[in-house]
Structures are given as C-alpha cells and as structure tokens.
Amino acid sequence: MVTGGGSGIGRAIAMGLAQSGARVVINDMSESGQETADEIGGAFLQADLADMDETRGLCQRALELEGRIDILVNNAGFQHMSPVEDFPDERWAKLIQVMLIAPFQMTKYALPGMKERGWGRIINMSSIHGLIASPFKSAYVSAKHGIVGLTKTVALETGEHGVTVNAICPAYVRTPLVEAQIADQARMMNLGEDEVTDKVMLAPAAIKHLVDPEEVAAVALFLASDDARSITGACYTIDLGWTAR
C-alpha cells in the first residue's frame, strides 16, 4: 500500500512495486490515484489523511479489499512555509496529522498482520528535513523529524517478528509539488525558475540537480526486498551531499 501514490514519489514507488509483481493499493486525495491504479492494474482507495477517522478507515478498507498488507509505504504529504508566529494553528495541526499521525495510524493497523505472518516492510518517506532544519518550515521539519523517531522506535519493536522499518530522506525531488514551489518562489523573489533551483534550493548541495522520483523509488524497492532483510531502523539519505556539510 502506497499513500500519496497518485503522483510524484508515490507514483514512482507504486509503479516500481507493480513492475516487481506486487498488487498495489494506492491512496490519494485526487483522481490521479485512480489513474495510476488503472495504469498498473492496482486498486485505488480515496481518503483524506488529514482526517483521523478517514485514515483509520483507510487501513481497514485496504485489509478488507486485499486481506493483507505486506508492504506499507507512508508517503503522503504536503508543505507550507511561514514564520512560526504567522503559522495558522489549524494548518500546523493538519500537516502534523497527514505526515506524522497518519503514518502512525497506518503502521498501527498494518502491523498485526505482518507480525502474524512473520514478514513485513514499512517504508516511511522522511526528508533531509528529518535530519536538518530550514527556516519557515516548522511544521514540516517537526513532522519529518518525528517520522525518523517513529521509524526507529517501531523498528526496535518489530525486528524479532520479521518486520523491517526504514525511512528515506531525500533532498528536493522533481515532483509537481516542488515544481509549483519553484514557480511560486520565482514570482516572489523576481528570479528565473532555474535561478531559484540553483541559488536557493540547491545552494547547500554538492550535486546541482533535483532528485528524480525514480531514484527514490529504487531505494524503496531495495528496502522492500529480501536483500534488505537485515536493514531496519535506518534513514537512507538521497540528499545530493546536502548533509555532508
């Protein structure tokens, strides 16, 4: 199961899993999830992960539909930039729900079956902002740091049951969300979009290009495989050298 699987990183992971022979259930808020599911011969379950009850019901619907969840990819998310003093309370809470509480809920309800079968893979999409911070992203950075902590804790709790839990921490990935951010910042800063990419987003990076979604998907597929059976509680960076400083 892949949350936020209709576009970007989630879509790339869903397609990679399907190509590897998995039956993939995609969750997304938009109909792009249905389009991706149709393309790969999977299933689509629409739910808003900002709603705790909908999230709880989503996992149950997936279990009723397929009978089991062997691989869970907690990928859904969004960003909001604002100084702490200007950050709307409700927006802050919504972001934390989608990117931290919802992965906890999905993990909670998928785990019993994984433990019973003695095999499972949970892959959480964190970010370089799960390891470092940037200004104006208090909720996003808090959620991504929290996902790293959740990953490590659940890994310690489930290792003896054949379940591995890992996080992926990419830098900026070329997704519709990031491309929209580039366009917004270009307008606000009166810069060209290439200048925003090079001088703002990639300024701390050693490799000066955005990460492709397929690169992230390749790491996710490895972590879902038996070749990664001894890896758990890890945070895999795809950060263009960002955190080497």
Catalytic sites, residue numbers: 140
Distant-in-sequence, close-in-space partners of 113: CB < 8 Å, separation ≥ 6: 63, 68, 69, 120
Angle between helices 8-19 and 213-224 (to 10 degrees): 50
Burial readout 139-159 (b: 16 or more C-beta within 10 A, e: otherwise): bbbbbbbbbbebbbebbeebe
Give the separation between CA 147 and CA 144, rounded to whole angstroms: 5
Say how far apart CA 27 and CA 8 lie, in whole Å.
Answer: 13
- Scan for tokens 């597929």, then name that residue: 221
Contact (CB, 8 A) for 123 and 168: yes
